[in-house]
Chain A
Amino acid sequence: MPETTTQCSPLLAQFGEGGLGQTRRPDRWWLAPASVAVGLAAFAAYSTWAALSGENYTFSPYLSPFYSPNFHVPRIHVSPALLVLWAPLGFRLSCYYYRKAYYRALYLSPPACVVSEPVRDYRGEAGILRWLSIVHRWFLYASILVLSVLWLDALRAFDFNGHLGVGLGSVVLLLNAAALSFFTFGCHALRSAVGGNKRCFNCSALGHIRYRSWRAVSYLTSRHPFWAWASLYTVALADLYIRLLSMGVLHDPRVLL
């Protein structure tokens, strides 16, 4: 391997070839990456199981967000969730916040700030990972489509055979749609597309609208990590709730108007 050096870092001189985890930080720096890893693994395990199960995903008038839009393609015998979930999954995998989260927690690059990482041929996002930025916007557009269907589902959840009503499930689906919207509309790619990519708002066409939308998206972007986690939980909990209703484990409290 050709011997290369950083332009300025004397650290390798200090730590030698030192692998993972060298630091002078006295705190429990591993706590944050470890909890992220556990959180992501728990969601991955639950959602895979729920998506593959192919049953117990609806309890009239509710439909699990994992299974919406509920496509049934004749002669294709896969769980309907798999026909849809690629969009939100790809959106999250290529999201700038989740990238930070898994680069730190899973790829350990770096595991935490100023904690050394395994020495490897580092390419950052200049190599194959460049594709994450490229595809992110396409997953965003697909996710907005899925999200609009989830809003329809949330509204439908207030329709009990033609009677307007409120059930715990209606509230759960509504909150889930809201949390997913706060997450989706805080997307960095959207923030750029609506106006962030302009040097000057005032000199561009529709400058006022661009500026307003950029401000609104920026507000959500600054809270992107929060909504990323909140919506991950609401979506799993909404599925779990409907699953338990449909399995007869829980009873849905309702008020019909």
Chain B
Amino acid sequence: MSEIHLVVNRGNAGDERGWDESFYVRASKGMVVLDALWQVQEQVAPDLAVRWNCKAGKCGSCSAEINGYRLLLCKTRIDSLPAGQPITVQPMQTFARIKDLVTDVSWNYEINRALPPFRPRESSDWRWFQRDITRVQEMRKCIECFLCQDVCHVLRYQRTEKPRYAGARFYVRAAGLDYHPMDDRDRLAYLREEAGIELCNVTRCCTEVCPEGIRITDNAIIPPKERIVDRYADPIKALLRRMLRR
């Protein structure tokens, strides 16, 4: 391995199509795609925009599409990609471009603000058991890379405006709160009416890309879908509830 051929899709704000630019950089052992882009910045194109922070796969800043796959630039080793072929790098396609590989993900922060936050139970004994927190811990692994939002076809190709579709990242956040034994809020109505969870057709692309290995569809989308049926649509459960209330 000596030279790497990078094809980077560049562009300015508003230019979603952009243009492809080729760069050649020296390969070294254990190198990741972000290293290659640094070399480009250092040696050829100091104005190449790329966002990163930790270079350890934990801050979720460097999400991009490498050879068409949704990956973190800092976690994708060059030697994991087909050798001898150009490596294409483009920004996330679901979000508007700011410059080159940097996209505007602020839409996600708006969604985040609308999500009912944690509200502690009153007068509870603040001790809980590992078995009750394991599910929460899985959801808390999220690094907000928004790759699951980027890959989701509901956000990517469809033109649904209402109900608002919060997207996998926020079903993960809602699940983390909903499973928390010390939280006393109920987010089912929010998920169903405002977050549009029923628009998800459980096709699992989000689960396939999550760099933290969160089983998004199995653990954060299908369980609330089942609870929505329990609450809003199951005739026997409704009958039981009515009888018990009496």
Q: Are A103 and B160 within 8 A (Cβ)?
A: no
Stretch at the interface among B24-32, B40-48, B226-234: B226-234
How many of B's residues come within 8 Å of A, CB to CB? 60
Main secondary structure of the interface of A (DSSP, over half): loop
Q: Which of B69, B156, B158 contacts A25 (CB 8 A)?
A: B69
Does residue A203 face the partner (Cβ distance < 8 Å to B)?
yes
Residue from B88, B107, B156, B157 with most neighbouring chain A CB atoms (10 Å) = B157
| Distance to closest chain A CB from B182 (angstroms) | 9
Q: Which of B160, B201, B208, B225 contacts A4 (CB 8 A)?
A: B160
Q: Which of A99, A116, A124, A134 contacts B233 (CB 8 A)?
A: A134
Q: Are A197 and B223 within 8 A (Cβ)?
A: yes
**Which residues of B sit under 8 angstroms from A73, Cβ to Cβ?**
none
Does residue A137 face the partner (Cβ distance < 8 Å to B)?
yes
Provide the bound-state CA to CA distance between A103 and B181, in Å: 35
Provide the bound-state CA to CA distance between A122 and B97, in Å: 25
Please provide the chain A residues from 119 to 168 with a CB less than 8 Å away from any CB of chain B in the complex. 119, 122-126, 129-130, 133-134, 137
Stretch at the interface among A7-15, A37-45, A242-250: A7-15
How many of A's residues come within 8 Å of B, CB to CB? 53
Q: Are A6 and B233 within 8 A (Cβ)?
A: no
**Which residues of A sit under 8 angstroms from B164, Cβ to Cβ?**
7
Does residue A110 face the partner (Cβ distance < 8 Å to B)?
yes
Q: Which of B65, B131, B132 contacts A24 (CB 8 A)?
A: B65
Q: Are B157 and A110 within 8 A (Cβ)?
A: yes
Q: Are B128 and A10 within 8 A (Cβ)?
A: no
Stretch at the interface among A47-55, A174-182, A188-196: A188-196
| Distance to closest chain B CB from A172 (angstroms) | 31
| Distance to closest chain A CB from B85 (angstroms) | 8
Q: Are B128 and A202 within 8 A (Cβ)?
A: yes
Q: Are A197 and B230 within 8 A (Cβ)?
A: yes
Does residue A211 face the partner (Cβ distance < 8 Å to B)?
yes
Does residue B241 face the partner (Cβ distance < 8 Å to A)?
no
The chain A residue with its CB closest to the CB of B204 is A100
Does residue A31 face the partner (Cβ distance < 8 Å to B)?
no
**Which residues of A sit under 8 angstroms from B161, Cβ to Cβ?**
4-7
| Distance to closest chain A CB from B226 (angstroms) | 4
Q: Are A201 and B131 within 8 A (Cβ)?
A: yes
Does residue A117 face the partner (Cβ distance < 8 Å to B)?
yes
**Which residues of B sit under 8 angstroms from A9, Cβ to Cβ?**
93-94, 155-157
Q: Are B196 and A133 within 8 A (Cβ)?
A: no
Does residue B117 face the partner (Cβ distance < 8 Å to A)?
no
- A residues contacting B by CB (< 8 A) are 4-14, 23-27, 96, 99-100, 103-104, 109-110, 113-114, 116-117, 119, 122-126, 129-130, 133-134, 137, 188-189, 191-193, 196-197, 199-203, 211, 221-222
**Could you list some 29 contacts between A and B, CB below 8 A?**
A4-B161, A5-B159, A6-B158, A7-B155, A8-B95, A9-B94, A10-B93, A10-B97, A23-B68, A25-B68, A109-B203, A113-B151, A113-B203, A114-B93, A114-B205, A124-B201, A133-B225, A133-B226, A133-B228, A133-B233, A134-B234, A188-B222, A189-B226, A192-B226, A192-B227, A196-B223, A197-B227, A199-B180, A202-B181
